[in-house]
Amino acid sequence: MTPSEESFHLDSQASGRQVLKAIAARFSTRSELLPNRKTIYYDTFDWRLHEAGSVLEVNTDDRATTLRWQTPDGPLRELLPPDGVPAFAWDLPAGPLRHALSPLVEMRRLLPLVHLETSGEALQILDDNRKTVARVVLEETSAIRPDETGQRQSLPLTLRAIPVKGYQKAFDALLQMLSEESRLEPAPTPPLVLALGAIDRQAGDYSSRLDLRLEADQRADEALKQVYRSLLRTIIANEPGLRADLDTEFLHDFRVAVRRTRSALSQLKGLYPEATVSEFRREFNWLGSLTGPTRDLDVNLLKMADYRALLPEEVRADLEPLTEFLERHRGLEHRRMVQALAGKRYRDLVERWQTFLDQPPAEGELPRNAATPIGELASRRIWKAYRRVLEKGEAIGPETPPEALHRLRIEAKKLRYLLEFFRSLYDAEGVTRLVKALKQLQDNLGDFNDFVVQQATLGRLAQQMIDERLQPAETLMAMGRLQERLENGQEREREGFYRRFEKFSAPGNRKRFRRLFKQQERPER
């Protein structure tokens, strides 16, 4: 196994030259000319590579452009054409790197985080046979923001000790010399983190997950404003990528934050004046409706690979006219959505909502639940939502229509949102186990609903294609066969529901819900 390279920071070129001179005096060396190098670090907007403990970079010099993905299991590399930096994992050539990267980033675009420009000099450490057994590189680097500002910042002068496979002892001797004679200590900060800090960024500075720190005795109205502020930050953070159509998940995260906001406004009542709540509920409902058609078409396009896989290979190409139809309509809907988001109604909503959330706590006569401790209100609402899920789930039988499972799916989603809003108030392990069980039920209900909706959608799309005189007979036949496959999937998920619900409603989970959220009986306020 090849050891990892080590980096050391130096305070000046003079001290760096001194170290190189000391290395040359201690070991047999050969000078190496280094071409200037440009490096661009990439990750998804939601930092999927960083969260997986990996780093993706593209290095370009006068010899080649190389994509390098450093993972916990080691590096993977891919030579690229000079102008061939991929936007998505599926743009990479087929091979081990694409195979490993695709499941991690999925449909997310690879975005440039920071540009580096590096120049330097190097020494090769040689053995008695004049073979290179290690390398030392002294580098000057500037970090540059990948935006119109082009903000540039110099990074600390860096000495890199680079191992060569099969020569561990030589590398150990080099590290020992750098530590004992040159008094160098390994750089404490990874290069990417250092470069991001130089341009005022931080790895992991965006996540769609709620990360709140609520206190059980907080006033409920103020605690909920913390939730709403976090959701508004998510909405605003995703706006630029949504408008620029960088990838489908910007709209997805935007819509989830809007949906969570709507759910909280509907479920957690008696905190603010009713007229205020009604106004914002109406406007966020409008925002959900505005963004829905584009998201629906996104989902259809993302499903196309699955659709093709459900059909015999010889007829898969017959779905291509459907793909083209969806892409054309999706482009139209996206333009309409972006135009509306640039309009006064949306701008006013964001400004009024931000102003409302920034207002100090209300005084005097308050709505009935405003001053209630959030721990009490959250427990009451979660317990009620949980009981509703149990009641509706227990009523599902073989003859129950699909609409009832759809309503159960909505109730389960409401419960999930409440658990996400208030999980910081409760035992973390207990809530995590309940969320896991609930998510498994939601996955089943969601897949069942998707099969129902997709069948209806295919029927509607077929009629639209006929109306627009875009109805190749083979495409309509393929869509009909696909509807049959989807109906089979719907039946499988329906059969799987009982097992998932039984697991969710098992005695152990009932005890956990009761222990965490059941309070002394008191009238609902």
pLDDT tens column, 166-177: 999 999 999 999
Residues 267 and 191 in one domain: no
What's the CA gap between 413 and 407, in Å, rounded? Answer: 10
For residue 323, CA distances in Å to 82, 266, 336, 489 come to 31, 37, 20, 21
As a whole number, mean pLDDT of residues 380-388 equals 97
For residue 27, the domain's CATH number is 2.40.320.10
Residues 76 and 138 in one domain: yes
Residues 23 and 68 in one domain: yes
Q: Residue 221: its pLDDT value, please?
A: 97
In a domain, 208, yes or no: no
- Its domain, for residue 397, covers 220-517
Tell me the percentage of the chain whose pLDDT exceeds 90: 84
Residues 123 and 224 in one domain: no
As a whole number, mean pLDDT of residues 291-298 equals 96
Q: Residue 275: its pLDDT value, please?
A: 95
Confirm if 512 and 506 have CB atoms less than 8 A apart: no
Tally Cβ neighbours within 10 Å of residue 198.
Answer: 21
In a domain, 340, yes or no: yes
Residues 60 and 185 in one domain: yes
Q: Residue 521: its pLDDT value, please?
A: 43
pLDDT exceeds 90 at position 189: no
In a domain, 209, yes or no: no
Residues 229 and 119 in one domain: no
Q: Which two tokens stand for residue 301?
A: 């396009």
Residues 378 and 256 in one domain: yes
Tell me the percentage of the chain whose pLDDT exceeds 70: 98
pTM: 0.91
What's the CA gap between 115 and 102, in Å, rounded? Answer: 23
Residues 240 and 143 in one domain: no
pLDDT exceeds 70 at position 259: yes
What total of structural domains would you count in the chain?
2
Residues 124 and 255 in one domain: no
Residue with tokens 């306020």: 525
Q: Residue 1: its pLDDT value, please?
A: 52
As a whole number, mean pLDDT of residues 177-194 equals 87
Residues 309 and 191 in one domain: no
Residues 273 and 397 in one domain: yes
Residues 274 and 421 in one domain: yes
